[in-house]
Chain A
Amino acid sequence: MKQQIQFTEIDGGPRFYSLLGFIGLFVLAGLAAAFYMEHNGHYVTGMTNQIVWGTPHVFAVFLIVAASGALNVASISSVFGKVPYKPLARLSGLLAIALLVGGLMVLVLDLGRPDRLIVAMTKYNFKSIFAWNIFLYTGFMVIVGVYLWMMMERRMNRFTRMSGLFAFIWRLILTTGTGSIFGFLVARQAYDSALMAPMFVIMSFSFGLAIFILVLMAAYKWSDRPLGDAILYRLKNLLGVFIASVLYFVMVYHLTNLYITENHGIERFILLDGGIYTQLFWIVQVLIGSLLPLALLYLPSTGKSRGWIGISCALVILGGLAQMYIIIIGGQAYPLEMFPGKEVSSSFFDGIVNSYSPSLPEVVLGIGGVAIALAAVVVGIRVLRFLPVSLADELVDPHYSTDKAIA
């Protein structure tokens, strides 16, 4: 008979505090960057009246999308009944909330008037997807919080499946809402596509799992707890499926646009002559961020190496950030199509590709959001029982046999 999985807090030694202090520096830097931007106004950033959403939004949307994806591991356990994932479900829920908090912090601190957050909480225009998202995001935190409680409180365990199902459905709606921020924008050639919503859902699967695997490996390495190959290989194989799925959606999106003549301009811009955006697309998103990690995860020589699995996850995250950059900033860089068949010029940068270069405060604010998320995870696993003492194969692998272990 298998041993019961035991959960404990991590130790609070100097290693914990130095890690927390290190992450804290990035949090402070992010807050300082936000203060600098708000104090001076946004002219100190790379954002303009042309590129109104910049690097903070790339980080924020990436983190929010990844947040819902990070919950997948818990959903696979609670909703789809896969036993090996059950020990990971708590960390999955914690990471999901943490990433969402990080993303929202970046989004809010980039507002022109972050001091009016209370206005955003009290005045709603229910036709706005942003307004829905305020409910979807806060609701997500509450629902995943309850879900964690059901998982972690033994008397409540019988509600785990129900709350897990609810959280799973909620997260699908949430990512649909995030994708629809762009999908419902009729004005710009790069957006205005119903495909945005499902594409964001599948992107969340990929980005969220990549971050989850990295956090899991780091947490077990630094807390000297055993992490078996069986669970790790399951996760990395799943990540491979998600990477391929994202590529499929990206391909369908571009094929659809390529067929429609009025969208040839934006497609040419992204795929052929958009400079930095074209390079980011082919080199970072497709090659380094998708095909390379796919190969690394499935090749026998690298797919079984923890180092390469970690690198693959990092590449997926890099590719994901590039994809967000192309969607958010590339979509704005391409000029609005107001006068078909005409060359357009004005003092307000009509008809030209808008330039944007990320400023330091924007990047630091974005990284600050990542740091907030990581700090929340580190503190979470220190104060509550999120991590199993061991994830060794004999504990979590249902196919484990002592024969195999001896062999």
Chain B
Amino acid sequence: MTDNAQTDTSRRRFLGGAATAAAGLIAPGVLLHEVAQARPADQPVTSAVRWGMLVDTSKCANGCTDCVDACAEEHGLTGHGRPETDAQWIRKVNLRDKQTGYTQTLPLLCQHCEHPPCVDVCPTGASFKRADGIVLVDKHICIGCRYCMMACPYKARSFIHETLDDQLPDAPRGKGTVESCTFCVHRVDEGEQPACVEACTGENHNALVFGDMNDPASEISRQLKQYNSRQIRADLELNTGVRYRGI
């Protein structure tokens, strides 16, 4: 089979090179596809999207704080050794049924309500809800009255009790203002997942699903449709953006 041995490999090299080149050209396009799905920076957010999170408490392990740690790292939430005044944007809450003794654990964060009580009570409008459902605090017009903290049914907000000097660019924070989970708005706007979700998924716990609740094709919509889920304090009819399975 000398013919084969003498086969000119130039064509293979060409094809190989072409394929590599093509891959090099297309791959970023494929990877950037998700980014392209994100809203362009010059476009306003719209209510066509409603960001939400589904927590599967059956997959949330007792003692695991991966989501909490990721949040702290993402936003530079370093404590001052004073638990009563240190900020917490997401926390692990342990539940035990008084009647049956059944225990479970779940992450609790800003529930990004459709009708947020914190936004209702804020005198200056610093507490606000974006069109896509993310509830935020405008740190420039927050006067630090803490009325939102009185109004929040989930104790989701923290007040900054001391001077901070190590803030991260994506997480503006400051003494005398109130803050809470932003659903990692800086990441979501870039087409990425919130840090807590990424951490949970990255460790293969998969207890958190984040996505557009208005998009029937999204994973969160699919799961919400398929499985029973609950809102915490559903009696308040706030239509929360964070839903829980298994509570």
A38 — which chain B residues lie within 8 A by C-beta?
176
> In chain B between 117 and 135, which residues have their CB closer than 8 angstroms to a CB of chain A?
117, 119-125
Residues of B within 8 A of A (CB-CB), count: 55
With known contacts A43-B80, A342-B97, A112–B120 Cβ distance under 8 A: no
Chain A: interface size category: 35 or more
B35 within 8 A of A: no
Q: Are B91 and A52 in contact (CB under 8 A)?
A: no
Are the CB atoms of A350 and B162 closer together than 8 Å?
A: no
Q: Mark A124-136, 1 if CB is under 8 A from B, else 0.
A: 1101111100100
Q: How far is the CA of A344 from the CA of B123 in the complex (A)?
A: 32
A182, chain B: closest CB distance, angstroms: 8
Bitwise interface map of A from 337 to 374 toward B, beta carbon under 8 Å scored 1, else 0:
01101111111111000000000000000000000000
What DSSP secondary structure best describes chain A's contact surface?
Answer: loop
Of all chain A residues, the one with the shortest Cβ separation from B121 is A128
> Cβ of A206 < 8 Å from any Cβ of B?
no
Q: Using known A-B contacts A338-B154, A347-B83, determine if residue A128 contacts B143 with beta carbons closer than 8 Å.
A: no
Whether A128 and B159, one on each chain, are in contact in the complex, defined by CB atoms closer than 8 angstroms, is no
> In the complex, what residue of chain A is closest to B65 when comparing beta carbons?
A347
Interface residue? B146 (CB, 8 A): yes
Contact with B along A105-117 (1 / 0, CB 8 A): 0000001111011
Q: A130-B147, A347-B91 are in contact. Are A125 and B124 (CB under 8 A)?
A: yes
B94 & A344 in contact (Cβ 8 Å cutoff):
yes
Q: Report the minimum CB–CB distance from A342 to chain B (whole Å).
A: 4
Chain A residue at minimal CB-CB distance from B157: A49
Which residues of chain A are within 8 angstroms of B96 by Cβ–Cβ distance?
Answer: 342-343, 345
Residues of chain A in range 116-169 having any CB-CB distance to chain B below 8 Å: 116-117, 119-120, 123-125, 127-131, 134
**Do A134 and B153 have beta carbons less than 8 Å apart?**
no
Q: From B83, which residue of chain A is reached at the shortest CB distance?
A: A347
Residue of B nearest to A355 (CB): B84
Bound state CA distance, A336 and B152, in angstroms? 9
> Is B149 an interface residue when CB atoms closer than 8 A count as contact?
yes
The yes or no answer to B23 lying at the interface (CB within 8 A) is no
Once the chains are docked, how many angstroms separate the CA of A342 from the CA of B98? 5
Contact B117 A53 (CB under 8 A): no
List the 6 shortest-distance A-B pairs measured between CB atoms, nearest first.
Answer: A112-B144, A112-B176, A130-B123, A187-B153, A41-B162, A43-B161
